[in-house]
Amino acid sequence: MPELLAAGHEVRALSRDPARLAGRPWVDDVESVAADVGDLDAVREALTGADVAYYLVHSLGTGRTFEARDRRNALTFARAAREAGVGRIVYLGGLYPDVAEGDLSPHLASRKEVEEVLLASGVPTTVLRAAVILGSGSASFEMMRYLTERLPAMTTPRWVDNRIQPIAIRDVLHYLVGSATMPADVSRGFDIGGPDVVTYRQMMQTYARVAGLPRRVVVSVPVLTPRLSSHWVGLVTPVPSGIARPLVESLVHEVVCKDEDVKDLVPDPEEGLTGVGGAIELALTRIHDGEVTTRWTSASSVPGAPSDPLPTDPDWAGGSLYVDERRTVVEAPRDVLWQVIEEIGGQGGWYSWSLAWHARGLLDRLVGGPGLRRGRRDEHSLRVDDALDFWRVEALEPGKRLLLRAEMRLPGLAWLELRVDESAEELSDADDDAPEPQDAAGPGRTYFAQRALFAPHGLLGQLYWWSVAPFHGVVFGGMQRNVAQEAQRRAHDGGA
Report the distance separating Cα 464 and Cα 454, nearest Å. 10
Quote the percentage of the chain above a pLDDT of 70. Answer: 85
Answer yes or no: do 282 and 332 share one domain.
Answer: no
Answer yes or no: do 222 and 262 share one domain.
Answer: yes
Answer yes or no: do 59 and 196 share one domain.
Answer: yes
With 80 as the cut, is the pLDDT of residue 380 above it? yes
Answer yes or no: do 373 and 283 share one domain.
Answer: no
Provide the CATH number for the domain around residue 142: 3.40.50.720
Pairing of strands 446-456, 412-421: antiparallel
- Comparing 60-69, 83-92, 420-429, the range with the smallest average pLDDT is 420-429
Q: Which amino acid is at 289?
A: D
Please indicate whether residue 288 or residue 41 has the higher confidence score (pLDDT).
41
Residue 28 in any domain: the answer is no
Residue 331 in any domain: the answer is yes
Answer yes or no: do 130 and 192 share one domain.
Answer: yes
Structure confidence at residue 122 (pLDDT): 94
Per-residue pLDDT tens for 18-65? 888 877 889 999 999 999 999 999 999 999 999 999 999 887 766 677
CA distances (Å), 112 to each of 72, 163, 274, in order? 14, 20, 26
Answer yes or no: do 286 and 327 share one domain.
Answer: no
CA distances (Å), 89 to each of 110, 184, 260, 384, 418, in order? 18, 11, 20, 29, 43
Per-residue pLDDT tens for 134-153? 988 778 888 888 888 888 88
The mean per-residue pLDDT over the stretch 294-315 comes to: 52
Per-residue pLDDT tens for 158-205? 778 889 999 999 999 999 999 999 999 999 999 999 999 999 899 999
Provide the CATH number for the domain around residue 333: 3.30.530.20
Q: Which amino acid is at 199?
A: T
Structure confidence at residue 113 (pLDDT): 93
Structure confidence at residue 341 (pLDDT): 94
Answer yes or no: do 280 and 424 share one domain.
Answer: no
Residue 1 in any domain: the answer is no
Per-residue pLDDT tens for 391-416? 989 888 999 999 999 988 888 889 99
State the first-to-last Cα distance of the chain, in angstroms, to the nearest integer: 35
Answer yes or no: do 99 and 238 share one domain.
Answer: yes
Residue 2 in any domain: the answer is no
Per-residue pLDDT tens for 427-475? 444 444 444 444 444 556 889 999 999 988 888 888 988 998 888 888 9
Please indicate whether residue 149 or residue 119 has the higher confidence score (pLDDT).
119
Answer yes or no: do 274 and 356 share one domain.
Answer: no
Residue 167 in any domain: the answer is yes
Structure confidence at residue 437 (pLDDT): 45
Enclosing domain of residue 391: 322-492
Domains held by the chain: number: 2
Answer yes or no: do 341 and 282 share one domain.
Answer: no
Residue 329 in any domain: the answer is yes
